[in-house]
Amino acid sequence: MATRMPGAVQQIIRERRKGLLPLLKKAQETEGFLSRETIRLISRKLRVSENEIYGVATFYPQFRFQPPGRNHIQVCLGNACHVGGAPNFMEAMKIEKNLAHGETTPDRKFSLEGVGCLGCCAIAPVVVVNNEVHGRMNRVTFMRLVESLDSPEKPS
Amino acid sequence: MSASQAKPKARPARGERVPAPKTRVLVCESTACASAKSAEIRAALEEAVVRLGFGDRIEVGFTGCHGFCQKGPIVVVEPEGIFYCQVKPADANEIAESHLAGGQPVKRLFYRHPVTKEAVPRYEDIVFYKNQQRVILRNCGAINPEKIADYEDRGGYQGLEKAVTAMTPEQVVEDVKRSGLRGRGGAGFPTWRKWDICRRQPGEEKYVICNANESAPGAFMDRSLLEADPHTVIEGLAILGFAVGASRGFIYCRAEYSLAAKRARTAIDQALGRTYLGKKILGSKFHFDVEVFEGGGTFVSGEETALLSSLEGSRSMPRSRPPFPAVEGLWGKPTIIDNIKTLACVPSIISRGADWFASIGTAKSPGTAVFSLTGKIANSGLAEVPMGTRLSTLIYDIGGGIPNKKSLKAVQTGGPSGGFLPGGKIEIPLDFDSLQEAGSIMGSSGIMVMDEDTCMVDAARVFLSFTQSESCGKCVACRVGTRHMVGLLDKIASGRGAEEDLAKLEKLGRIVRNSSLCGLGQTAPLPVLTALKYFRSEFIAHVADKRCPAAVCRELVTFRIIPDRCTGCQMCVKVCPTKAISGPRSQPHNLDQSKCIKCRSCYEVCKFDAVAGEAIIIVS
C-alpha cells in the first residue's frame, strides 16, 4: 500500500475496513447466519476479498455459517458455569437430540452453541434460549426446558 | 429513547439534592436480574402504584446492577433504603400494598444473613455492602443509567467541566500522576505515564479507547459498570481525550454484552445533547466524539494490540511491542487504550482531587479495586474495596464465607489465567505487587472460591482449556503448548497419567509462559503451575492411586444409591438417559454400573427434587 496517500483518502479506506465487523454482525442479526451470498456482497461493497472476510469471520466465535434452528440454545461454558455442570448440558443434547456445538437439527427445530462467559456468573450455570437468559440450571431442569420448547402446546 | 428526553422537567442545579425526596422504588434491570423477569416486576409495581392512587407521590424506576446478582432481582425503596431480594413478579402487589401504602415493609423479602439467618432490611446494613468502599461503582444501582439528570445530580460531568474550562492537558496528566492511578486491566501500569507519552507525540490525529472487552469468565464488573453507569465511562474517556489531545474515542465492548452497548449508545446521545461531547464541549475549544464498537467476543481482544487489530477490521491478534500503542496505535497513530475501570476512576480524581484518591488504598497501589466474587461463596457478586484489603476480609466479611459448612480449599485470583492460592494464604493483601509475589495476578480481578469438593486437577484443566481455546494461534508456544498441557491434564484426570507427566507439565508450562508474545500465553499456565505447587498430593493421588480425592473426575468416580436413604420415588429412574437405574416404586432402586455414564442427572434430581434427597452419592 502506498504510504504517501492523502490523509482523507486513507481515512475513507480505514473506515470502510473498520466497518467489516459491525457489518458482519448486522448481517447475522438479520439473516441469522452468514451465508455465502452475504459474504460475497460484503466483499464487493467493502472491496475486501472473500478469503479475507472468511479469515476474519471464522476467527470470532460469534459468527455462524449455517442457519440456526427455530430454538437457538446457547450454553454458557464460562468457568463458573463449567464448574456448575454446563458441559453436562452439551452432553445431554448430544445424547437426547444428537446435537453438538454449532449444529442444527435436520428439522431445524433446535440449534446448539457452546459460548464463552455471558457475565451472569452469580446465577451460574446459565443457558440462553432465544435470547432469554435462564439461570441456576441443572441437567434435569435444562432438559425439561428443552422438552418444553419441543412440545406442540408451545409452538415457537 | 430515554425517559429524560421524552419528558423534560425542571431539575435543581447540578450537585444540589432535591429538598424533600419522594419515595422511589427502584428495580434492578441488569442482565442477571432481567433474566429473572425484573421488567415484569417493574410493570407490576407501576400498575399497583397507579391503582392505589400514589402515581404522583411514588416513582417507580429502574437502575443498573447492584453487584449482588446472586440475590436478584433486587428492588430498593428509597429514601429509606429498604432492600428486597429475589423478588418475583407476584410479590409486586404485596410490596405496593403492605409497604408503599401501609408503611409495613415486607419482611419475607429481606436479605438474610447467610450464617445467622437474621433479616436485614436496609441496604447499608448488609454485610456485603457494609464493608465496601465504592469509587468505581459509586453510581451503580443508585441511578437510572438511561437518565443523564440522575448522573448530573450525583456530581456527574463536573470532572470534565473542570478539566476543559479550568485546566490544561498537562495539569490533568499531572493530577493523574499525583493520584498514583494504575491501570485496572490487570497489569497495573502507571496510567499517567502512558498518557504523558501519548500527549507528547506530535500530530493532530490521536485516538483514545475504552477497553470493555471483558471476556474473562467469572468477571462481570465491566458489564455491570457499563450497564449501570455509562456516563462515568464517557466522562472518563472525554477527560482522557482532552489530556492527550485526541478528538475521537471508542468504547470497545464485547458483542455478547448487547444491553451494555445499547445503554452506552443512549448515554452518548444524551451527552451530545448537553454538549458534554461533540463540538466545543462546554463552551471550550475541545472537540470530542465517542462511538461504541462491538467486538467479536474473543478473550484475546482484551490485549491492547489485539484490540486494535479487531477495531481495524482484522483478526484479533496481538502485535509485538515496541512500538507501544501510545506511540503507534490505531491506524499507526498515537492511541491510548485504558481499561473501563481505570477510566471510571478519572472523573472522581479530577473533581475530588488527586490527594483524595491517593489517600485510599496502599501507597504503591492507590484507590480501590472491584472484585467479582464467584464460586463456592455465600454472597457472590461485585465487591469494591480499597487496594490492600486482605483476601480473607473479602471472602469472609463481604462474601459471607463458604456455604454448606464446607471448608475453603483454594482461591483463584485474576480470572481464568490467574494462579490458585491455597487456603493458608488468604491473609495476603490484595494489590498488584503482593499478588504477583504470591505467584498469582490481579488480572481481571475475578475471584473464584473453591471448597473441599473441588478437584484441583479438574479445576486446572477447566481453566487451561479456556485459555487454550482462546489462544489466537500466533505464537507456537501458546498454540501448541497449551494444547499439549490440556492433553496431559486429560490423561491425568482419566487415571491414565504417570508420575513423569507432572514434570512434563511443569516444563511445558514454563516454556509457554516464557515464550509467548502477549499476556494470554504468559499467564495461561499459571493455574496449572500453582496447582502443582500447592496441591501436588492431589495430582499424585490421580497418577499413583488412580483416585480423585474430591470425587469429581468422571472416570475415577462411581455413583451409588444408599438403600437406607432411598424411598423409591422413581425420580432418578425417569431422568436416567441410559436406563441404568431400575426398581419398583417405594423400594430402594438399583444402579447398574455397566450402563452408568456418570452424567449426574440422578444425583441432581435426587438432591433437589426427590422425596428422600441425597440418597445418591458420588465416591472415588
Q: Where are the domains of chain B?
A: 20-130, 148-358, 368-451, 456-543, 557-619
Chain A nearest-CA distance from B472, in A, is 8
Residue B152 has what DSSP assignment?
Answer: H
Q: Which three cell numbers stand for residue A146?
A: 428443552
The answer to whether A122 touches A96, Cβ cutoff 8 Å, is: no
* Domain covering B557-619: architecture: 2-Layer Sandwich (3.30)
Pairing assessment for the beta strands A71-76 and A110-115 based on DSSP bridges: parallel
**Mean pLDDT of all residues in chain B?**
89
Chain B nearest-CA distance from A108, in A, is 23
Chain B residue with minimum CA distance to A59: B315
Mapped onto helix, strand or coil, the DSSP state of residue A68 is coil
Interface check for B213 against chain A (CB to CB < 8 A): the answer is no
Which residue in B213, B314, B486, B598 has the most chain A C-beta atoms within 10 A of its own C-beta, making it the best mutation to test that interface?
B314
Chain A nearest-CA distance from B258, in A, is 11
Mean pLDDT lowest among A141-155, B330-344, B499-513:
A141-155
Chain B residue with minimum CA distance to A55: B315
The pLDDT of A36-52, averaged and rounded, is: 94
Q: Which residues contact A69 (CB under 8 A, 6 or more apart)?
A: A104, A105, A108, A109, A110, A111
Residue B507 has what DSSP assignment?
Answer: H
CA-based nearest residue to B242, from B196, B286, B274, B289: B286
Give the pTM: 0.87
Residues 150-209 of B with CB under 8 A from A: 205
pLDDT at B508: 96
Chain A residue with minimum CA distance to B316: A59
Q: Which three cell numbers stand for residue A29?
A: 442479526
CA-based nearest residue to B67, from B185, B251, B186, B225: B225
**Does the ipTM surpass 0.90?**
no
Q: How confident is the model at residue B20 (pLDDT cuts 50, 70, 90)?
A: low
* Distance set, CA B67 to CA A22, A136, B267 (Å): 30, 17, 21
- Half-sphere exposure of residue B87, counting CA atoms within 13 Å on the CB side? 34
Interface check for B214 against chain A (CB to CB < 8 A): the answer is yes
Statement: residue B373 has pLDDT above 60: yes
Mean pLDDT lowest among A53-67, A70-84, B362-376, B426-440:
A70-84
Q: Which three cell numbers stand for residue B178?
A: 499525583
CATH of domain B456-543: 1.20.1440.230
Tens digits of residue pLDDT in B79-129: 888 999 999 999 998 998 899 888 889 999 999 887 788 899 888 888 889
Chain B residues with CB inside 8 Å of A122's CB?
32, 68-70, 72, 220, 374, 380-381
CATH class of the structural domain B20-130: alpha beta
Tens digits of residue pLDDT in B466-497: 899 889 999 999 999 999 999 999 999 999 99
pLDDT at B21: 60
Chain A residues with CB inside 8 Å of B416's CB?
79
Q: How confident is the model at residue B8 (pLDDT cuts 50, 70, 90)?
A: very low
Chain A residue with minimum CA distance to B554: A88
Q: What is the DSSP string of B313-345?
A: TS------SSSPTTTS-GGGS-EEEEEHHHHHH
Statement: residue A115 has pLDDT above 70: yes
Tens digits of residue pLDDT in B167-203: 999 999 999 999 999 998 888 899 999 999 999 999 8
pLDDT at A151: 67
Residues 485-504 of B with CB under 8 A from A: none
- Half-sphere exposure of residue B2, counting CA atoms within 13 Å on the CB side? 22
Chain B residues with CB inside 8 Å of A34's CB?
none
* Distance set, CA B480 to CA A58, B303, B476, B488, B608 (Å): 19, 20, 6, 13, 42
pLDDT at B2: 41
The answer to whether B176 touches B353, Cβ cutoff 8 Å, is: no
Statement: residue B320 has pLDDT above 70: yes
B294 → closest Cβ in A25, A95, A139: A25
Q: Express as a percent the part of chain A with pLDDT over 70.
A: 94
pLDDT at B371: 93
* Domain covering B368-451: architecture: Roll (3.10)
Q: Do the chains contact at A133 and B316, CB–CB below 8 Å?
A: no
CATH of domain B148-358: 3.40.50.11540
Instruction: Name residue, grid cell 438399583.
Output: B590
Chain A residues with CB inside 8 Å of B295's CB?
21
* Distance set, CA B343 to CA B264, B389, B392, B488 (Å): 14, 22, 28, 41
The answer to whether B85 touches B108, Cβ cutoff 8 Å, is: no
- Determine which helix (DSSP H) or strand (DSSP E) holds A28, and give its type and residue range: helix A20-31
